[in-house]
Amino acid sequence: MNSYDVAIIGSGPGGYVAAIRCAQLGMKTAIIEKYSTLGGTCLNVGCIPSKALLSSSHHYEEATKHFEEHGIEIPGEIKVNLEKMIGRKQSVVDQTTGGIDFLMKKNKIDVYEGLGSFKDATHIIIEGKDAGEIEAKNIIIATGSKPSNLPFIELDKERIITSTEALKLKEIPKHMIIIGGGVIGLELGQVYYRLGSQVTVVEYMDRILPTMDAGLSKELNKVFKKAKCKMMLSHKVQSVERIGDEVIVKAENKKGELVEFKGDYCLVSVGRRPYTDGLNAEAAGVNINDKGQVDVNDHLQTSASNIYAIGDVIKGAMLAHKAEEEGVFVAETIAGQKPHIDYNLIPGVVYTWPEVAAVGKTEEELKADNVEYKVGQFPFRALGRARASGDIDGFVKILADKVTDEVLGVHMIGARCADLIAEAVTAMEFRASAEDISRMSHAHPTFAEAVKEAALAATEDRALHV
Ligand code: FAD
Ligand code: NAD
């Protein structure tokens, strides 16, 4: 039987990054993945394919709606070849997952294809292509998550679908009804409205992106409404029924009335659930809590002291970069180091256009904590760079402590915010004040100038360009 210092179950961004870091630290490492490709949800059916389709559909929107104003004329009709678009997405996925194969080989990590389940706290049984048993001193559970569903919805995966199917549709829906105005609903909703679908978003809460700063929700809602999407907020879905090629969604509005929506596809995007099916965690003495998550302490150690868990399968945000940080954290902990993660400084990004990004506390959270804060906000439309490219929607908002001026939260919506947020994370890691940011030189003309201007506005209400 092969023996390892560390065995990792699951090869998503949590698992494969943990494997690389363990190998870098000199540990003999194995990774077990039930699918034939590595990379987990993120690389196969999550981050990467959704961003590929967002990019393709963005190009289409630019070509059909914005090229003309730039003086670019394309004779004839501009058409979408969905099959080719989905094919390109798949080749991006294939290249990316292939890259993980390379990294496993480079780092001399043994890869086992098959379902991993615990025999006990140090032995894993593998069922599938590489069937057998391995032994490991330490084990990391990185089994990720799956789409959750509402109890009354039967997902047929043809017309009533999850994000996984929405990433490989064979036709452009005429009318896609999206249940859940969270990250997946909005990213994929934008893909399909750009390609020509009518999109209706049915959201239970009174705003989309309910966990983000309310100002961001409001601004993105405007973008969707401008694109003629129906944004049905405060609507609680009661039933979803398929009749032939038609899908009928019934939801209760604020007044208690039942409202009906008819479409040809219904995307259910109401969150994801931690995935531990088939793991046989109890055989190793690993506790699963009532939310279905693997229970961990501050060291990400489970109730079995040699077994750790990371990523979507434990508490916290279900984000690839959070899983990656935890992978590194556990590898270093096993190696005897004392790593640290500041969960408050894990940014959240929605890759719509305009992009939405945030780090730190929201105004709602600061108010709830009775923290006195000041706000500096700057609109992109006041930037030369934004006007030059035609991306004038959105703003950067900086929240700073009223007394110390320390930056407590940064919330932004606009072009390239997914990348701009890194400056805010860096500043907050170093506990910068708004004045610190405002005194740093930002290249002109760039979108990043909005961060400096918002910092100036927060410091002394002295933004230069408004
Ligand atoms: P996963 O990536 O889910 O990987 C777990 C792996 O474990 C899977 O490959 C699974 O097959 C395997 N596994 C499970 N059980 C076993 C077993 N018993 N034996 C062997 N293998 C097993 N996050 C972002 O940060 N940015 C984004 O842009 C983003 N976009 C997303 C878009 C979509 C459509 C979706 C669905 C998710 C997106 N996410 C995004 C979330 C991101 O994909 C997850 O947070 C991330 O993949 C979690 O990583 P993980 O390693 O914990 O688990
Ligand atoms: P989510 O939690 O972001 O959004 C789910 C939405 O569904 C919420 O707004 C919620 O209020 C709503 N909802 C729940 N029950 C409902 C009901 N009965 N009727 C109507 N609406 C209802 O979940 P998601 O969009 O499915 O994404 C799952 C996870 O994947 C998220 O945690 C997210 O972090 C991750 N993800 C991240 C990215 C990214 O980082 N860009 C992209 C996609 C997914």
What backbone torsions phi and psi does residue 239 show, to the nearest 5 degrees?
-155, 155
Pocket test for ligand 1, best of 47, 162, 282, 315 (most atoms within 8 A of CB): 47
Give the closest ligand to the alpha carbon of residue 202.
2
- What is the predicted pLDDT for the residue at 465? 83
Alpha helices in 32-116 (DSSP H): 40-45, 47-61, 82-106
List all residues 6 or more positions away from 401 whose beta carbon is below 8 Å from its beta carbon. Answer: 371, 372, 373, 374, 408
Report whether residue 44 contacts ligand 1, using a CB cutoff of 6 Å: no
- Residue in 390, 219, 416, 457 with CA at minimum distance from that of residue 465: 457
Q: Tell me the average pLDDT across 184-192.
A: 98
Per-residue pLDDT band for 27 (boundaries 50, 70, 90) equals: very high
pLDDT tens track for 69-103: 999 999 999 999 999 999 999 999 999 999 999 99
Q: Which residue is closest in CA terms to ligand 1's atom 26?
A: 47
Q: What would the pLDDT profile of 387-401 be if each residue is shown by its tens digit?
A: 999 999 999 999 999
Ligand 1 atom 41 nearest Cα: 319
Closest CA to 190 of 350, 68, 318: 350
Residue 362 CA to residue 213 CA, distance in Å, equals 5
Q: Per-residue pLDDT tens for 199-258?
A: 999 999 999 999 999 999 999 999 999 999 999 999 999 999 999 999 999 999 999 999
Query: Does the N-terminal peptide bond of residue 151 adopt cis geometry, omega within 30 degrees of 0?
Result: no
At residue 339, does pLDDT exceed 90?
A: yes
State if residue 12 touches ligand 1 by the CB under 6 angstroms criterion: yes
Question: 330 φ, ψ to 5°?
Answer: -70, -40
Contact 82, 169 (CB under 8 A): yes
Q: How far is the CA of 312 from the centre of ligand 1 (A)?
A: 7
Q: What is the pTM of this model?
A: 0.98
Ordered structural domains, the chain, with CATH: 2-147+273-341 (3.50.50.60), 160-270 (3.50.50.60), 345-458 (3.30.390.30)
Residue reference for tokens 């690993």: 286
444 is catalytic: yes
Ligand 2 near 184 CB (within 6 A): yes
Which atom of ligand 1 is nearest to 115's Cα? 19
**DSSP 8-class letter at 345:** G
Other C-beta atoms closer than 10 Å to the C-beta of 350 total 23
Task: Considering the candidates 66, 70, 444, 465, report the single residue annotated as catalytic.
Answer: 444
Average pLDDT, the chain: 97
